Amino acid sequence: MANQNRWRTFGRVVVLVWVLNVIGLAALAFAFLRGGFGNVFSFGAPVPTASATLRPQPTQTTTPTPLPTPSPTLTPSPSPVPASPTAVPDTQTPTPSPTPSLAPTPASSVIGHSVEGRPLQVFTFGNGPLKRLMVFGIHGGSEWNTVALADELIAHLSQHPELIPPENTLILLRVVNPDGLARGRGSDSRGNAHNVDLNRNWKTPDWVEQWPLKGCWSGYPLNGGDGPGSEPEVIWLRRFIVAEKPEAIISVHSAALGILPGGMPPYARSVSLAEALAAVSDYPYPPIKTGCEYTGQFADWSSLQGIAAVDLELTDHEHTDLTRTCWCSPPYLRGASNL
């Protein structure tokens, strides 16, 4: 009996083991079919298929990954920032030798355009309350050396901004008649693109379209415009002056006549400016008279606005007089400011 019981017990154990095995296998099979093991063992097609059905989300999560790629493409776009340093050497290239010391580029802006669309560019030095305006090249290429003087002054003052007295702002209009300058240096380069003398197109009581040529420059047929202030160069400059309200204006010409105060008759403050300039230079003052009748003039219009204004004639048509007249010396600039 004992043996029979032993065998019976043994048989039950075997059956139990088998039952457990079958249950275990069934559970494994079920789990396998559910794909649960796939995650664990990382094998079996179901996992990719499952994730394939989830693709839309992964693709959305990969779309952010393109964002890093744009952000590299955005890193080139900061490269315009490095590009502006390269622009700095660019602006320095025009000035030949003193390139390294010319680090401070003067503030410049365009106040308008000529008949042919060339810019009227001003350069500003200092930031004092008393504004001084110097204009160059109103007679274009025939007085090209005045524009050359402007360029020399711009370069020199960029290197020596301390020359500007603290109470002053000095504004240089590099060339009033860029179209004439672009035509070369002949007689036909004095007027603008409409053959108008831009120094005779201003709204003064004596404006005329045609003036007597006796004693005047007559190298090429010019006129005073269709009416006072008819030319774009004059319109822009007038607007600029009305807006900026400089208290003194020097219009630089060439050549030889000296310093001519504006006004009809000469305006007292313009005379004071002429005297102040004569005191620190050797330009003739009172000016040389040729018998020419000056009409519709810029300095006269400026004086009629209550601005001290003079025409200043350089020595000849070739030189800038930069060193001869000590244009850049503080006494000269201060002299101009002692009005």
Q: Does 139 bind Zn ion (CB under 5 A)?
A: yes
Q: Does 131 bind Zn ion (CB under 5 A)?
A: no
Residues 193-232 interacting with Zn ion (rule: CB under 5 A): none
Question: Residue 243 half-sphere exposure, CB side, CA atoms within 13 Å?
Answer: 7
The span of 22-30, 227-235, 252-260, 265-273 binding Zn ion (CB under 5 A) equals 252-260
Question: Residue 283 half-sphere exposure, CB side, CA atoms within 13 Å?
Answer: 32
Q: Does 253 bind Zn ion (CB under 5 A)?
A: yes
Nearest approach, Cβ of 150 to Zn ion (angstroms)?
A: 14
Nearest approach, Cβ of 201 to Zn ion (angstroms)?
A: 13
Short-list 243, 235, 246, 252, CA closest to 306: 246
Is residue 198 within 8 A of residue 233, CB to CB? The reply is yes
Nearer to Zn ion by Cβ, of 163 and 172: the residue is 172
Is residue 174 within 8 A of residue 154, CB to CB? The reply is yes
* Beta-ladder partners of 309: 249
Nearest approach, Cβ of 143 to Zn ion (angstroms)?
A: 5
Nearer to Zn ion by Cβ, of 38 and 233: the residue is 233
Which x/- pattern over 23-62 shows residues binding Zn ion (rule: CB under 5 A)? ----------------------------------------
Nearest approach, Cβ of 104 to Zn ion (angstroms)?
A: 31
* Beta-ladder partners of 284: none
Contacts of residue 310, defined as CB under 8 A and 6 or more positions apart, other chains included, come to 249, 250, 251, 259, 260, 261, 262, 270, 273, 274, 277, 299
What secondary structure letter does DSSP report for 216? S
Nearer to Zn ion by Cβ, of 303 and 337: the residue is 303
Size of the site for Zn ion (CB under 5 A): 3
Residues 219, 142: Cα–Cα separation, whole Å: 10
The span of 23-31, 253-261, 280-288, 299-307 binding Zn ion (CB under 5 A) equals 253-261
Bridge pairing between strands 130-136 and 107-113: unpaired
The two most distant CA atoms of the chain are separated, in Å, by 159
The span of 5-13, 142-150, 172-180, 264-272 binding Zn ion (CB under 5 A) equals 142-150
The span of 88-96, 103-111, 137-145, 234-242 binding Zn ion (CB under 5 A) equals 137-145
Nearest approach, Cβ of 181 to Zn ion (angstroms)?
A: 12
Residues 334, 153: Cα–Cα separation, whole Å: 16
Cis peptide before 64 (omega within 30 of 0): no
The span of 7-15, 19-27, 143-151, 290-298 binding Zn ion (CB under 5 A) equals 143-151
Determine the residue type at 5.
Answer: N
Q: Which residues bind Zn ion (CB under 5 A)?
A: 139, 143, 253
